[in-house]
Structure 1
């Protein structure tokens, strides 16, 4: 009897694709694709099943996708794609992983400085990439107001330094790209996911955003918010944007995905300290901001702490988790990095 290896991939907003794959002498010898997707005509399924036979088991998602595309040319794939099939095959072969292959540590430390938070992102991503820490979900607590600019943004074009100084708002630069954020203690929900690159194996950056955001959409829906993903990196609802995500992939295989969502932010202050905020309003027909930006508070009526606990509970329901903590070594390394890099004006102004 052929020993089949099984891999699964759930398409974000789509269907489940499963692959049962056999390998001999380093090559794929047998493959069976199944799932709750739709495929027409029916005769396309055998072509799909035979498309990768003979390929080396180390073939990349890109190579597999090309062969699958050729095999089902003219067919209609609904709820899935050929790249989804390739990812399921890679998972079956052990080169890619799914959520169920990992146990996630959940940590929620006490409030920290903005520089310390950004330093922890770098340290913990590297630790997961090196295999010294399990995949981790970390919720942040801010000790002060801050503007966090993206890795490639211009400091002077994004921040009104005089207004920021007057309002005692610190400015820090993160290691991920994307746009500037304004945060206040107790008025945002921020979290980071640190995962190995195997979890996003074969996914484009856009696909990985929706893939890694899928759990929080479910968490928000569980507390009454009709949340959905808006490419490239926004979480939104029919009543407007809730938050945004950013990512960084390290050379050692660690992947950082972090999100900030507004609970009840002072929009007037935000627009004084952020230059970009004024321009972003210009295409919305808005002359001035409301005094608060409060999608999580107004749409749930829940205290912020309950929102966070509900999100934790939803994550724990979906995935295998343990309660984790930051190690003394991780904290010590982050403190050094916070001082030497993330509090260093040369880093903050690396793009003037």
Structure 2
């Protein structure tokens, strides 16, 4: 196993680009281990609809990045108190979806640190009934990534603030809130240590008894390729928001001028159809607004730009721009 040094980079988009680059371009004769700590961010699962998973208004105000990863599973919150681990190995049908296989070394090291953890459910590591890690996998067909989070000293309040956690998911877990079912690893340590020391001990534990364990640092040329992948993929709106299945969005609200009900069909992150209903009175046909929304990205900045060029009072009566815009984003 070769440990890849990410040079203490905290940019989530660069770290995910690095992880994918290793899987696709590093020597397939070797297995690799990558650790990284991200700045505050939400990491979206490959098959999720981003706008349904995040509290967009909150993350905009607090400069929290959103990045889609190439593996499945659910959205997770990262910050400087969260340690991420990634094993990059050859594809093995026996290892694919076998989360026990690649979490076992991590659980073993936690046990040696006096923390009794175990894999429960589909892909979670728990201490007692508290979740301290979630895991996911991705396969290219030749290589596979098995990665997970370790909640070491994360701001758990931000998990609730930044994510839109579906009530059905909470009910299926048998808990009333996100905060009630997660915990930080540091809470269970007899000796409080910094996350950098925790990472060091975890790495030493994984090294133990493995004489073939070595460390690798990327060349300048390799880093240039990783930055290029970040620029072309992980920095783009199309990847982080636009790459989503077709879905419908509906919201309504009552204003002094009457009720307004908007219904939108979104495909590949863009508005394919927009329909506005309600009992308001207006001079002009709302079909004119509907047509202007067609084809634009379903995100706040794009919609705001279109609406600023429209005199909404001609369609609805006396309604403020921000009030109408809020219909498109239920968390505002």
Structure 2 length normalisation: TM-score?
Answer: 0.67
1:141 equivalent in alignment to 2:45: no
Q: Secondary structure at the match of 1:314?
A: helix
How far apart, CA to CA, are the structure 2 residues paired with 1:326 and 1:264? 29
How far apart, CA to CA, are the structure 2 residues paired with 1:315 and 1:273? 33
How far apart, CA to CA, are the structure 2 residues paired with 1:149 and 1:107? 24
| 8 Å contact kept, 2:79–2:154 | yes
Q: What residue in structure 2 maps to residue 334 of structure 1?
A: 226
Q: How many residues align?
A: 240
Q: What residue in structure 2 maps to residue 213 of structure 1?
A: 103
How far apart, CA to CA, are the structure 1 residues paired with 2:175 and 2:9? 37
Q: Which of 203, 212, 217 pairs up with 1:312?
A: 203
Q: Secondary structure at the match of 2:179?
A: coil
1:192 equivalent in alignment to 2:86: yes
| 8 Å contact kept, 2:42–2:66 | yes
How far apart, CA to CA, are the structure 1 residues paired with 2:23 and 2:117? 27
Q: Secondary structure at the match of 1:219?
A: helix
Q: What residue in structure 1 maps to residue 215 of structure 2?
A: 323
Q: What residue in structure 1 maps to residue 7 of structure 2?
A: 109
Q: CA deviation at 1:228?
A: 0.9
Pick which of 278-287 and 258-267 moved more: 278-287
Q: CA deviation at 1:335?
A: 0.4
How far apart, CA to CA, are the structure 2 residues paired with 1:110 and 1:203? 33
| Cα shift readout 1:52-95 (whole Å, capped 9, x = no counterpart) | xxxxxxxxxxxxxxxxxxxxxxxxxxxxxxxxxxxxxxxxxxxx
How far apart, CA to CA, are the structure 2 residues paired with 1:247 and 1:282? 25
How far apart, CA to CA, are the structure 1 residues paired with 2:235 and 2:35? 21
1:158 equivalent in alignment to 2:158: no
Q: CA deviation at 1:285?
A: 4.1
| Cα shift readout 1:146-188 (whole Å, capped 9, x = no counterpart) | 0000000011111111111011101010011111110112x11
Q: CA deviation at 1:248?
A: 0.8
Q: What residue in structure 2 maps to residue 254 of structure 1?
A: 143
Q: CA deviation at 1:231?
A: 3.6
Q: Secondary structure at the match of 2:133?
A: strand
Q: What residue in structure 2 maps to residue 343 of structure 1?
A: 235
How far apart, CA to CA, are the structure 1 residues paired with 2:117 and 2:126? 6
Q: Secondary structure at the match of 1:265?
A: coil
Q: CA deviation at 1:293?
A: 5.5
Q: CA deviation at 1:135?
A: 1.6
CA RMSD, Structure 1 to Structure 2 (Å): 2.2
| 8 Å contact kept, 2:6–2:35 | yes
Q: What residue in structure 1 maps to residue 112 of structure 2?
A: 222
- Cα 1:287–1:182, aligned 2, differ >3 Å: closer, same or farther? closer
How far apart, CA to CA, are the structure 2 residues paired with 1:189 and 1:139? 7
| 8 Å contact kept, 2:130–2:183 | no
Q: Which of 113, 124, 140 pairs up with 1:234?
A: 124
Q: CA deviation at 1:288?
A: 7.4
- Cα 1:232–1:205, aligned 2, differ >3 Å: closer, same or farther? farther
Q: Which of 111, 115, 118 pairs up with 2:16?
A: 118
- Cα 1:285–1:112, aligned 2, differ >3 Å: closer, same or farther? closer
| 8 Å contact kept, 2:130–2:182 | no
Question: Which sections of structure 1, spanning at least 5 residues, go unmatched?
Answer: 1-102
How far apart, CA to CA, are the structure 1 residues paired with 2:175 and 2:100? 29
- Cα 1:140–1:285, aligned 2, differ >3 Å: closer, same or farther? closer
| 8 Å contact kept, 1:120–1:330 | no
Q: Which of 172, 176, 182 pairs up with 2:77?
A: 182
How far apart, CA to CA, are the structure 2 residues paired with 1:285 and 1:141? 28
| 8 Å contact kept, 2:154–2:184 | no
| Cα shift readout 1:179-211 (whole Å, capped 9, x = no counterpart) | 1110112x11111111122xx3x415332x211
Alignment of 1:18-57 (within 5 A): none
Q: What residue in structure 1 maps to residue 134 of structure 2?
A: 244
Q: What residue in structure 2 maps to residue 100 of structure 1?
A: none
| 8 Å contact kept, 1:225–1:299 | yes
